[in-house]
Amino acid sequence: MNASAQLTTLTRIGFATRGLLYLVIAFLVIRTGRAEDPAGALRVLGEGGGRLLLGVMAAGLAAYGLWRLADAAFDLERHGSDRKGALERLAAGASGVVHGFLAWQAVRLIQGVSSGGGGGTQEGTQTALELPGGPVLVLIGAAVLAGVGVAQLIKAAKGTFLRYLEPAVAQQPWARWSGRAGYAARGLVFLITGFFLFRAGLDEQASEAGGMAEALAWLSSPWDIVIALGLLGFGLFSLIEARYRVLHDVPVAGLARRATGQ
């Protein structure tokens, strides 16, 4: 198996890992009322599954992040060169960075170093607020989050996520509706976190910012369960993608030759 095929296989493990994280997030809300984000779900799995599971997830998340970054740089998914394609590639790059960070957190957990819970969004907001024009930067970040949320809702409504699956599977109701529920729930979570960030920028108070965990905790019953069920759907859809998504290989050898000038 060459390097490109190996990266593709690990990327599928990354999709499966992402799905597992969302399943844990949904399970915790539905069964215990505990709100977590993907990093928190990673800690929960690390506590229950040990180093071997964390090692597999770290490799999968790292490969998934690298694949997303390669998509952003080389348009592996054929997004196109228009404005919409450029935004999709930008989103792919952001996803690559986020999942690379999750892979790093998994490695830290293997080493026995906990990254701690929560606070990361607030710390980042505080850093931004201390920069020149900080409140404006935070408000721009809030607008970006809101835009991502709207994009996720549109994706849920139009079902455009299905175009990446094998055609026979894309026609199945279980693929369509799990994806729609998942993207709709993620869209609402992004809108809520965007609202938190907007409030933090407006009041210049980093403590008012928050991520997915804070958004889920903010929701009252039964809406927290409704969103959790949607995130459960996203977890299931990620597992479907792990098996049936059409992945274009990253030309690892070619990129290595280009980087070394050979």
Helix axes 173-203, 134-158, angle to 10 degrees: 160
Helix axes 120-129, 173-203, angle to 10 degrees: 40
Lowest mean pLDDT among 121-125, 171-175, 255-259: 255-259
Compute the distance between CA of residue 117 and CA of residue 261 in angstroms, rounded to an integer. 43
In the predicted model, is pLDDT for residue 37 greater than 70?
yes
CB contact at 8 A, 185 and 230: yes
What does the pLDDT read at residue 61? 92
- Of 85 and 188, the one with more pLDDT: 188
Compute the distance between CA of residue 82 and CA of residue 184 in angstroms, rounded to an integer. 25
- pLDDT per position as a tens digit, 39-89: 999 999 888 767 888 899 999 999 899 989 988 888 878 887 788 888 888
Q: What is the mean pLDDT of residues 227-246?
A: 97
The count of other CB atoms within 10 Å of the CB of residue 35 is: 20
In the predicted model, is pLDDT for residue 238 greater than 50?
yes
The answer to whether the pTM exceeds 0.85 is yes
CB-based contacts of 184, cutoff 8 Å, min separation 6: 152, 153, 156, 157, 230
CB contact at 8 A, 26 and 235: yes
Q: What is the mean pLDDT of the chain?
A: 89
- pLDDT band (50, 70, 90) for residue 157: very high
In the predicted model, is pLDDT for residue 3 greater than 90?
no
Q: Provide the Cα torsion 76, 79, 84, 87; round to 10°.
A: -10
Q: Which regions of the chain does DSSP assign to beta strands (E)? A: none
% of the chain surpassing 90 pLDDT: 66
- pLDDT per position as a tens digit, 107-144: 988 887 665 544 578 888 999 999 999 999 999 999 99
What does the pLDDT read at residue 114? 61
- pLDDT band (50, 70, 90) for residue 208: very high
What does the pLDDT read at residue 128? 92
3-state secondary structure of 249: coil
Phi, psi torsion values for 245, nearest 5 degrees = -70, 140
What does the pLDDT read at residue 259? 47
In the predicted model, is pLDDT for residue 229 greater than 80?
yes
Q: Long-range contacts: 107-115, Cβ < 8 Å, 24+?
A: 107/58, 109/42, 109/43, 109/46, 109/54, 110/46, 110/51, 110/54, 110/55, 110/58, 114/43, 115/39, 115/43
Six token digits for residue 193: 């976190």
- Of 180 and 122, the one with more pLDDT: 180
What does the pLDDT read at residue 248? 74
- pLDDT band (50, 70, 90) for residue 10: confident
